[in-house]
């Protein structure tokens, strides 16, 4: 893999670098989902990627998460040029350096929270005891130490999403991507999950939240707005 960009100052390490990125889906006519998009997310940043349906949010998620490749432009994730990686190297980068949280929790039924979180380290090579110890610590980090042995049906929606966040965090990824993380929650649970993400950001986690919900976006310190495959604005709260 390409070497990390370790010469960047602390807090300015570019976890995400997109330069003139385009993604076009075939059709008649073709759909230009991303159109020469440039974006930089540095270590410790928290960014809301906001836009209506069809704005390019899902495609942006797929590009940032290395689930899809751009047709043109530079995509560098955690110091690695995605275009230079084989599919196997790309899978390794995604598995080790990117954590995903989705609208649906995807917790296996009947499996205790501790083991669901430990499963986030299945491909790390760590023995089971070590995976469970790290999972226990991460559950404590998201406020669920006392729910480690509860199964999904014994947890509220908000607690299940916290387990999903812990599973994404347990491998200490460089980038945490949350795709509509409050979409399946009531307003109280939604507020709690957003507050959790804000706390994780305060502790130094680099986070990208993909959402169409302006109430969610307005709680984030930086908002990148997409429209018709292009960035229409990129601003920080109180600092356009």
Q: By C-alpha distance, which of 174, 171, 182, 237 is closest to 209?
A: 182
- Backbone dihedral angles phi then psi of residue 208, each to the nearest 5 degrees: -120, 125
Question: Rounded to the nearest 5 degrees, what angle is found at the Cα of 115, between the Cα atoms of 114 and 116?
Answer: 95
Other beta carbons within 10 Å of 194 = 21
Question: Any idea which fold 45-67+97-235 has?
Answer: Rossmann fold (3.40.50)
Q: Where are the domains of the chain?
A: 45-67+97-235
Tokens 């795709």 locate to 179
pLDDT of residue 154: 97
Q: pTM value?
A: 0.90
Contact 34, 228 (CB under 8 A): no
The three-state secondary structure class of 29 is coil
pLDDT of residue 3: 35
Task: Work out the percent of the chain whose per-residue pLDDT is above 90.
Answer: 87
Tokens 């969610």 locate to 216
Query: What is each CA distance from 117 to 49, 175, 198, 215, in whole angstroms?
Result: 26, 17, 20, 29
Q: What is the rounded average pLDDT of the residues 12-33?
A: 94
pLDDT of residue 11: 58
Structure confidence at residue 7 as a pLDDT band (50, 70, 90): very low
pLDDT digits (tens, 9 = 90+) for 62-116: 999 999 999 999 999 999 999 999 999 999 999 889 999 999 999 999 999 999 9
Contact 125, 138 (CB under 8 A): no
- H or E element: which one contains 200? helix 187-202
pLDDT digits (tens, 9 = 90+) for 194-221: 999 999 999 999 999 999 998 899 999 9
Q: By C-alpha distance, which of 158, 40, 41, 34 is closest to 101?
A: 158
Structure confidence at residue 238 as a pLDDT band (50, 70, 90): low
Give 76's DSSP letter: E
Chain-centroid distance, C-alpha 102: 9
Q: By C-alpha distance, which of 65, 53, 150 is closest to 101?
A: 65
pLDDT digits (tens, 9 = 90+) for 110-128: 999 999 999 999 878 889 9
């Amino acid at each position: 893999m390409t070497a990390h960009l370790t010469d960047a100052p602390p807090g300015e390490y570019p976890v995400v670098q997109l330069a003139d990125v385009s993604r076009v889906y075939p059709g008649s006519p073709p759909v230009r989902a991303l159109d020469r998009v440039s974006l930089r997310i540095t270590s410790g940043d928290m960014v809301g990627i906001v836009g209506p349906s069809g704005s390019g949010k899902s495609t942006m998620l797929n590009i940032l998460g290395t689930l899809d490749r751009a047709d043109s432009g530079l995509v560098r994730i955690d110091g690695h040029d995605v275009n230079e990686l084989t599919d196997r190297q790309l899978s390794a980068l995604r598995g080790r350096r990117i954590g995903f949280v989705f609208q649906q929790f995807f917790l296996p039924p009947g499996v205790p929270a501790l083991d669901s979180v430990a499963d986030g380290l299945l491909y790390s090579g760590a023995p089971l005891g070590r995976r469970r110890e790290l999972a226990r610590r991460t559950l404590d980090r998201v406020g669920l130490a006392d729910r480690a042995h509860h199964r999904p049906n014994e947890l509220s929606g908000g607690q299940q999403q916290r387990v999903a966040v812990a599973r994404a965090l347990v491998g200490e990824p460089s980038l945490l991507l949350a795709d509509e993380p409050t979409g399946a929650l009531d307003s109280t649970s939604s507020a709690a999950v957003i507050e959790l993400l804000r706390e994780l950001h305060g502790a130094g986690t680099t986070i990208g939240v993909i959402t169409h919900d302006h109430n969610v976006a307005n709680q984030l310190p930086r908002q990148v707005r997409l429209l018709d495959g292009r960035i229409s604005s990129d601003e920080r709260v109180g600092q356009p």
